[in-house]
Chain A
Amino acid sequence: MIKLLKIEFKKIRTYKVFWILAGLYFVFLAAGILLAEFMINHTVNNINQRMPIPFPHVAIYYFPDVWQNVAFFASIRYVLIFPAIIMIILITNEFTYKTIRQNVINGMSKTEFLVSKLMIILLTALIITVILTAGAFFIGLSHSGFNEVDFFTKGIPFMTGFFLSLLCYMIYAFFCGFILRNTGMAIAIFTLYSLIIEPVIYFFFRAPFMFKNTIYTYLPVNSVIRLTEYPAIPMLKKMMGLNLQDHVSFIACLIPLAYASVMTAIVFWVMKRKDL
């Protein structure tokens, strides 16, 4: 296991594309989270110009809501797609450079190859979650201090939810890259599906009432994003009613986990039978 990680680490240690994309991801992630409050309040100001009774400004960085808000902004499609694209590149590179062939020739088993890639995905999800948790903690601390009694109550469920979102979404990407084998095609199809096709399906299948389950609920990418479906903003809660999410649903976690498990099983099945 350690040996496989060592090998994977050698493959990415001096790989510029990986580090540039990872850097971009963290810039987008930090910018998204840190600018969120400003942008929401900017919108509120615009609305208030036409309102007789102005809406109050929102604050989203307080304990314990900061956990849900950070998880929400970190699992927006446009941000989440970065680590997914990195995974597509890492797996399709192996086909492009035929190094998957060479690894097997040199004495790696096909199972070991897949396990090493899955370990990288798991480790990446862990590292990003840890960084995000630390970030959310410091944001919360700088805005509310320790005086809040339940400052960590929402922390563990929402960070675990984010970890699962990220893990499953990267496994989708890995699946897409493994099946298509071609970097450009895999990125194009994955991005197209995530950012356009599913939203279009949503447009046609949306339920008359916003919080009712539809086919859309069970689509792979949406089920990932839905783990933290809404930010925790008290005002929004008042407007939308009591139904608004305040915890990560265990049942909702099962949907992306089921997709990811089936995809992983297919990858192992294909690897065993297909010519390299």
Chain B
Amino acid sequence: METILNVDKISKSFGRIKAVNQLSFEVMKGQVFGILGPNGSGKTTTLSMLLDLIPPDNGQFSWFQQLPSKESRKRIGSVIESPNFFPYLDAVTNLKIVADIKDKPYDDIDEVLQLAGLYERRFSKFKTFSFGMRQRLAVASALLGKPEVLILDEPTNGLDPQGIAQIREIIALVASRGTTILLASHLLDEVQKICSYVVVLRKGIMLFSGNVKEVLAVSDSVELSASDMPGLTAAIREFPGFISFNEAEGLIQVHFSMTVNTSEINAFLYQKGILLSHLAEKKRSLEQHFLELLQDTP
């Protein structure tokens, strides 16, 4: 597989705060790659460095296996933070400026405007656009000239559910065409729905990276209680898929790496001579899981 982006130990500090610390990852052609982390974890700083807005303190990166340059940026469509356009120009003129910079013809301006649902408003000034329309225009401008890579920074931030759905629909369509996508988000659910690979950031440090299914696998947990608690904790370790348990108020909460069947647990423990006084299945929400993911590591 062809490497689109290679990031090698890049770091950036703002004063004493290390915004990004020794971050490395690799994005392959056609991947939908997520950068997941809470606010202030260094996502936007990372993307800003990759787009030459901020020079990194240390480390390097390459686009399309070449040193980054304005030419490599012309092959990338980006939406970073807020949509940035001239408020007094209409949508078409704003997009023409983008096309001029990217050395792309004006041919697909109509097409991207239609895709973003803004074709009817194409001669309206940008300042008359609603928040959702502005965001969609930003996505439209990123799609101009059929970029090989699409970079999206919190593309659905602040949008209403309908706006979120519209943006996700566009992303899905672009991804289906084989465009490589790099998406930064603080929403686990968004990354999980859209991305195939992910790096998880916290305070500029990479916590995990890999396949979304592995990193963000939602393990179920089960609450157990028995009169013989030491026997129970010893026995449950042997159950297939066991990860860890927490003790709380006379019962233990056990995490498994896969979905488990409570009756199997009951039968398994019965065989070991443990009689359960309490057995309950606990489903964790994705957000809760994400928070745990961030907290579990020191």
Chain A contact-residue range equals 20 to 34
Residues of B within 8 A of A104 (CB): 51-53, 73
Bound CA–CA A3/B97 (angstroms): 10
Known: A104-B52, A105-B80, A275-B54. A7 touches B89 (CB 8 A): no
Residues of A within 8 A of B71 (CB): 107
Task: Pick the residue among A3, A10, A13, A101 that contacts B84 (CB under 8 A).
Answer: A101
A212 touches B (CB below 8 Å): no
Nearest opposing residue in chain A for B78, CB measure:
A105
Residues of A within 8 A of B18 (CB): none
A11 touches B (CB below 8 Å): yes
Residues of B within 8 A of A98 (CB): 82, 84
Residues of B within 8 A of A238 (CB): none
Task: Pick the residue among A93, A103, A107, A276 that contacts B54 (CB under 8 A).
Answer: A276
Complex contact B85–A10 (CB within 8 A):
no
A50 touches B (CB below 8 Å): no
A106 touches B (CB below 8 Å): yes
Binds A, one of B20-28, B98-106, B260-268: B98-106
Min C-beta distance of A92 to chain B, whole Å: 13
Task: Pick the residue among A7, A14, A16, A109 that contacts B100 (CB under 8 A).
Answer: A7
Residues of A within 8 A of B102 (CB): 106-107
Bound CA–CA A6/B154 (angstroms): 32
Contact with A along B68-112 (1 / 0, CB 8 A): 011101101010101011111110010011101111000000000
Min C-beta distance of B94 to chain A, whole Å: 9
Could you give 27 example pairs across A and B, Cβ below 8 Å? A3-B100, A3-B103, A6-B100, A7-B100, A7-B101, A10-B96, A10-B97, A14-B89, A14-B93, A15-B88, A15-B89, A97-B84, A97-B85, A97-B86, A97-B87, A98-B82, A101-B84, A102-B84, A103-B101, A104-B51, A104-B73, A107-B70, A107-B73, A107-B76, A107-B102, A109-B70, A276-B48
